[in-house]
Amino acid sequence: MPQPVAKKWILFFVTVVMLIPGMVLAQGFQTGTLSAVVKDQSGAALPGVTVTVTSEERGTVRTGVTDNTGTARFAVLPLGFYRLEATLSGFQTVTRKANKVEPDKTTEVPVTLSLASASETITVTGQQPVVDRTNVSANTQISSKEFERAPVGRSYQTLMTFAPGVVDQPGNGSSGNPQVHGAGNSSNVFLFDGVDSTDTTTGTFGSNMNFEAIQEVSVQTAGMGAEYGRATGAVLNVVTKSGTNKFEGSAKVMGTNDEWNEQNNTTNQVTGSSLARTKLDHTNKRYAATLGGPIWRDHVWFFGAYEDAKIFTAPTTTTVSGEEYSQNQHITLPNYRLTAQLTPTQTVWAKYAEDPFSGIIRDYWGASPELYSLTSQTQGGKHVTGQYSGIFGQSVTLEALYGQSKPHRCRLGVPQLAQ
């Protein structure tokens, strides 16, 4: 497209975005909407109620007033838990705590105000609505508080199976590329904070993610919007953690060893031969650490996570030559994020992550006859993401997302004999 024409299209797009009044209903990958519906004891809508929402984790404050339907909407809210307070002269002040705002969803909070002869305050602990009436998609949200103690593999791919209709590819174990409602295992879309990380060649997942950096995972399996393009399976969006007003951190050392597991004592039902496996007495260690907190309380926060894992696999024998080989994998997963609240209605954040992965050995033939039939690989890449979210007036919101994923050059070679 010639440059003058491109500039005209850009100007047209910006003008349309700024003029569409319904933009306040839009939701982003890193933001959600909280809607307060205020009524009196008879069930009639209460206009003119002052509603204040305060982030319980970061202390940011937004204020609005209910309209003729008794509704006050707070769009483009950063994800997390919010305290809602509704006040109107002559009525009790009502406070609702722990109202969770999730990506691509509207959290509706019903509030009932009663007449009060004296100053009174009622505090209620909020409950997350099960059904979002403004969203027709089948969306399963898995938060860190739900999966961090669950016996699952340390990867975002394993969390997909929490959603209904998602199953691992038959005959391929835990491949990380599940089938959804009968669609192929290359029909899913994988997003990191709203940026597509799907492998453009295979259609499967294209990057790894630090498990300690995951705040929640959103899995949409039906009713997705047109912006998701080619997805006929699931759309998975991994939302990473952001710092809060508390300094928090963690340090973990994890180890796995096949000798710690029970031996398989069953036999082949046809031949009667034992199905016992050769167990490898080697401890694979994984180190993980996180740290997050405020740089400027109520305004700027940081979060960092780092993970280092070395995985040595049991020797495998080629079918013809009888040569043995092992995988001696090494992966490091740094993830750093900075978040700032510029004004009560404007937020910006930036993130940098890497996933260099070496020591991978692929058997593309399924049963390679000799060592030279295998392929040794080094994979990984760098990811840079940033987003701005803001509200302008009563009817216009603006969200701008920038993402860059730059893979390392995949180095190929021939695997070495097992030591």
pLDDT of 366 > 80? The answer is no
Class of domain 136-240 (CATH, top level): mainly beta
Residues 6+ apart with CB under 8 A from 216: 79, 102, 103, 141, 142, 143, 144, 239
pLDDT higher than threshold 70 for residue 414: no
What Rg value do the Cα atoms of the chain yield, rounded?
A: 26
- Domain spanning 22-125: which superfamily? Immunoglobulins (2.60.40.10)
Most confident of 94-108, 364-378, 392-406: 94-108
Higher-scoring residue by pLDDT: 321, 54: 54
Q: How confident is the model at residue 356 (pLDDT cuts 50, 70, 90)?
A: very high
Residue 2 reports pLDDT greater than 80: no
* Average pLDDT of the residues in 81-108: 90
Residue ranges of domains in the chain: 22-125, 136-240, 243-256+278-419
In terms of C-beta distances under 8 Å and separation of at least 24 residues, what long-range contacts does 402-408 make, across chains too?
403/192, 403/193, 403/194, 403/195, 403/196, 405/195, 405/197, 405/206, 405/207, 405/381, 406/381, 406/382, 407/206, 407/379, 407/380, 407/381, 408/356, 408/378, 408/379, 408/380, 408/381, 408/382
pLDDT in tens, 106-138: 899 999 998 876 555 666 665 555 555 656 567
Average pLDDT, the chain: 83
